[in-house]
Chains A and B, each alone.
Chain A
Amino acid sequence: MAGGSNPIEAPLADVVKGHIKGATGISGLKRLSGGASQETWSFDATTAGEPVPLILRRAPDGARPPSETAVGLATEAKLIELAATAGVPVPTVHYVLAKEDGVGDGFIMNRVAGETIARKILRDAEFANARPKLARQCGEILAKLHLIDRATLPPLRISPAESEIAQYRNIYKAHGHPHPVFELALRWLADNTPPPSIAHTLVHGDFRNGNLMIGPDGVRAVLDWEIAHVGDPMEDLGWICVNSWRFGNVDQPVGGFGTREDMFEGYEAAGGGLVNPDRVKFWEVLGTLKWGIMCTIMVTAFKTGADRSVERATIGRRSSETEIDLLRLLAPLA
């Protein structure tokens, strides 16, 4: 994808020269990931001295957002800036693209060095000293994130537990395949929904392995703010405990690297307030169900012909992973 033939290379170089101090151009532009509508690119700004490692998050002009729950890139940039002010480790946003830049919607931020791949973080010697600290750090980071003054937030979807449940129930029902274990979970969630009176905060919404940039010293940056919303702060603490994000380390409920107690202690010590473990479990159950339903709807894209890849097809056979996790949560054998 790199090279002069890339249509965004020239306008991006102009943007960087205009807005990154000392930049003389760009090099090493390559696409990292992303769907059809939102892209992540890695590149360096060249300078008279050391190159500056950067990331471009962008959506082509006129592209539809990746989902109805995504916040949009300008909002994402704003949230990252607010998080930085609140002491949450995040990349530094250097520039938010304007229409006349000709690169689409998006922003440029610095590229934080580290690792996001869970299997490496959980197994490699390089992270051995970081691992015991990560759960507490996650708690501290989430406390700071949840303390951000709601009055300063850009417009965000407000999504309390009832609407999160309704959203996923509708997706599951539209898919149409019967899952008695999902029904059991939906029933349990309806019977255990947190009261609407709880205080709502900014919720990251996807705080887990894969979206945390981690170095030998611990968490360096919280990434991927695209499904941030306002809701129950316990949602973030429950989501990172979903077994799918433990990558085999069943006995380390927080991301496969630590204990709930460590995360809760970090959260309370950083001023996040008292953790409610029952509500954290509620969100772990809902998170497990959400991932299971997402696996089933990926089959829809396969069956309709939108994506005929074997990879897409086989993800549907992973929803049963969440069914066994739900049974272990709601109807344990031991």
Chain B
Amino acid sequence: MQDQPTASELVEAVADFIRNHAMPQLQGHAAFHARVAANALDIVRRELDVAPAANAEETSRLKALLGTDGPLEDLNRELCRLIEMGEVGLDTPGLKDHLWRTTLTKLSIDQPNYSGYRRALDEEANA
């Protein structure tokens, strides 16, 4: 167990520093890259907050779907292989739900403002 503040809080503080203190003093390319850097730290913060529980859920969904055990990456490789072979597809119970949950989680970390993600959230609420 690590001490306070949490990794997520530290990253948030650095992103705030870049955005509110460093960036206003920069110009042109440097200012642009500072914005990109702050956005990258936001991804890190969201991943620290969301991924531990989400990866555990993804792993248990994959175990149920594939009937095998293993590390998350290996399970994903096996799923890829079975989809490629045509042995698992959208008519396989649980696949569509699994892909949607996994992808919605990715977007909630990577690009929570992306138009396709916002629309998918609306569609999910109305489904």
Q: Which residues of A contact B (CB under 8 A)?
A: 178-181, 183-184, 186-187, 243, 246-250, 309-311, 313-314, 317-318, 320-321, 323-325, 327-328, 330-334
Contact = CB atoms under 8 A, between A and B. Distances in A.
17 contacts: A178-B77, A180-B83, A183-B84, A187-B84, A310-B33, A311-B33, A311-B36, A314-B40, A317-B43, A320-B107, A321-B116, A327-B99, A328-B123, A331-B90, A331-B99, A332-B123, A333-B123
Contacts of A181: 99, 103
Contacts of B104: 324
Contacts of B77: 178
- Looking at A181, A313, A318, A333, which has the most chain B CB atoms within 10 Å of its CB? A333
B70 to A, nearest CB: 13
Given A178-B79, A317-B111, A184 B90 contact: yes
Given A183-B80, A320-B103, A331-B99, A310 B120 contact: no
By Cβ-Cβ distance, the 6 closest A-B pairs, closest first, are A183-B83, A320-B106, A178-B76, A317-B110, A248-B115, A333-B127
Contacts of A309: 33
B73 A178 contact: yes
A321 B123 CA distance: 16
B17 interface: no
A324 B117 contact: yes
Given A184-B83, A311-B33, A314-B40, A243 B90 contact: no
A234 to B, nearest CB: 22
Given A310-B33, A327-B99, A334 B127 contact: yes
B110 A328 contact: no
B99 A334 contact: no
Nearest to A334: B123
